[in-house]
């Protein structure tokens, strides 16, 4: 497998009170956009479909509330770093006070 085809997957639980509303979605997209890898996200808890992790409109469709588990997948040369950064963001509660 070449670097361009590298894949990484991680599941994380949403811990912030508000869940995945507009502000956390924008933070998620901001971090995802720093990487070249293609990012897709799925709400495992609701058995939803995969959405584009760099699209605000699609991310809002996840309807992810507190306690939901997200599966973050990245495909590309920096896939591992992408998934690690996004998982850390979710686990931090999106850096909300």
Using left for φ > 0, alpha for ψ between -120 and 50, and beta otherwise, residue 23 falls in alpha
Selected catalytic residue, list 5, 9, 11, 21 = 21
Query: Is 95 annotated in the active site?
Result: no
Question: 13 and 67 in contact (C-beta within 8 Å)?
Answer: yes
Which are the contacts of 27, defined by CB distance < 8 A and separation ≥ 6? Answer: 89, 94, 95
Active-site amino acid positions: 21
């Amino acid at each position: 497998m070449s670097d361009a085809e590298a894949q990484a997957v991680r599941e994380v639980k949403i811990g912030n009170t508000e869940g995945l509303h507009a502000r956390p979605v924008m933070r998620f997209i901001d971090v995802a956009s720093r990487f070249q890898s293609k990012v897709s996200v799925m709400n495992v808890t609701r058995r939803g479909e995969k959405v584009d992790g760099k699209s605000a409109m699609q991310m809002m469709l996840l309807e992810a509330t507190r306690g939901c588990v997200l599966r973050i997948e990245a495909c590309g040369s920096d896939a591992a770093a992408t998934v690690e950064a996004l998982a850390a963001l979710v686990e931090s509660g999106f850096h909300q006070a």
